Amino acid sequence: MRLKRIFSMAWENMKQRRLRAFLTTLGVVIGITAIIALASLGEGFRVSITNRMEQGFELDVLTLIPGTLFAGMKEPFTDSEVANITKVSNVSVATPVMQVGSVILYNGDKNVTAFVGAAVNFTEFVEVFPDRFRFEEGGMPEQIKNDTLIIGHKVNHLNETEPAFAHPNDEVNMTLTINYTDYVPIFRNYTFTVAGTLEKTGTAGLTSFDYWVFIPLETARKIYGDVTDLIFVKVSDPELSETVAEEIEALFPPYRLTVLVPLTFIQQVNSILNMVEIFLTSVASIALLVAGIGIMNIMTVSVMERTREIGILKAVGAKSRTILTMFLAEAALIGIVGSLTGVPIGYGLAHVLSYVLSGFVTPQQNHVFQRPEVERAAVTPIFSWEWAIIAVIFGILICILFGLYPARKAAKLDPVEALRYE
């Protein structure tokens, strides 16, 4: 008997036992709904976290700091070391940075503290961070002067309601700590001319420059000497960042430096999120298993009720395999209808859940220096065809698997016994 006819007969059968078919299918719908809801929420969660991290970290930028957390010399890098790193293959730029500590800026009667004062080679720095260095006002001067100053967004706008701290061409006084005598800092004042102020760089990360001010490396070296506190290395391809990191490490004696590779970090977080996602969906799959048992239960009853019918079919000439297929077709139909219904409902549920959950999660706002960012910490569920197809196949397979026992029971019935069944 043709499969198409078997399926249309199974469909007719289900239509004539609407309530039973509905309830059995409902179990599958719930199972698939749970799986899709959790999977698309999990996927959305993962993407939003990865996005945030990618905003916070340039994936193609390695950060090199001298020494390690526990051992090694924490001596600053030398220029020859920087030059060696530039020679490593796939390194496009290696730029030295000197940290001048936190600085206080004065503009007329206004003053502000910048938590990070960095002395950089502007030309190279812009090459490394083209996306971070977007100017709100002013811009990179054609000729870098000794007194060029670029101000990070939050330094300039510590309070959004108040006017900006400085504008381009303002002359700003900066107090730098130049030395210590008996632990007492010695300050000296310098005057810089503001070349530009930066746009907000967004999510806080290792390289969020909102609280930074930048002065030319040459200027700082005149004051402090040839000191390099950290090196930013731009690689030509983020995928190669781990290889490049290994090659750089190989250039130096052990414990000389630490290379921070954002990709590794993101990959680790990603794999953790992956595990969480798989765990959640396996929990949801239990619902589907319960639905499968429901199907087995209902179908076993159904086989008993239809014993005589099976006898008739056999007498008329239906093969055992045909009977088996007929019952499996009913199970499969329940699976198909239930799964296909469950996918959109699950996706919808994910949206509802994400909205409801966002009410419970308050956005991060307890950072001492940061003003609260007013945004809903919502996760947008992500629909993935892959997950949908896997869930539908899984749903149908479960139904067929649990339908197998009753269907085999039906197929094995002795025709004479079955015909005699009242």
Residues of the shown chain interacting with other proteins in the complex, contacts defined by CB under 8 A = 1-2, 5, 12-13, 16, 308-309, 311-322, 414-416, 419
Largest Cα–Cα separation, the chain: 109
* Burial environment of residue 75 by CB neighbours within 10 A (0 to 12, 13 to 18, 19 or more): exposed
Contact residues for 169 (Cβ-Cβ < 8 A; gap 6+): 138, 193, 194
* Three-state secondary-structure class, residue 67: coil
Give the dihedral of Cα atoms 88, 93, 99, 102; nearest 10 deg. Answer: -140
Beta-carbon count within 10 A of 393 CB: 12
Q: How far is the CB of 9 from other proteins (least distance, A)?
A: 8
Q: How far is the CB of 24 from other proteins (least distance, A)?
A: 17
Task: Give a three-class secondary structure readout of 105-141.
Answer: EEECCEEEEEEEEEEECHHHHHHHCCCCCCEEEECCC
Phi, psi of 119 (to 5 degrees): -105, 120
Minimum CB distance to other proteins smaller for 150 or for 323: 323
Q: How far is the CB of 399 from other proteins (least distance, A)?
A: 22
Minimum CB distance to other proteins smaller for 153 or for 306: 306
Minimum CB distance to other proteins smaller for 73 or for 315: 315
* Three-state secondary-structure class, residue 384: coil
Minimum CB distance to other proteins smaller for 291 or for 333: 333
Q: How far is the CB of 319 from other proteins (least distance, A)?
A: 4
Taking the CA of residue 208 as centre, how many other CA atoms within 13 Å lie in the half-sphere pointing to its CB? 18
Q: How far is the CB of 5 from other proteins (least distance, A)?
A: 5
Q: How far is the CB of 419 from other proteins (least distance, A)?
A: 7
Q: How far is the CB of 335 from other proteins (least distance, A)?
A: 22
Minimum CB distance to other proteins smaller for 226 or for 414: 414
Query: How many Å apart are CA 45 and CA 380, to the nearest integer?
Result: 7
Q: How far is the CB of 25 from other proteins (least distance, A)?
A: 19
Minimum CB distance to other proteins smaller for 281 or for 307: 307
Minimum CB distance to other proteins smaller for 3 or for 368: 3
Minimum CB distance to other proteins smaller for 315 or for 352: 315
CB < 8 Å & 24+ apart, contacts of 185-192: 188/223, 190/147, 191/147, 192/147, 192/148, 192/149
Query: How many Å apart are CA 19 and CA 305, to the nearest integer?
Result: 16
Q: Which secondary structure element, helix H or strand E, spans residue 87, and what is its range?
A: helix 79-87
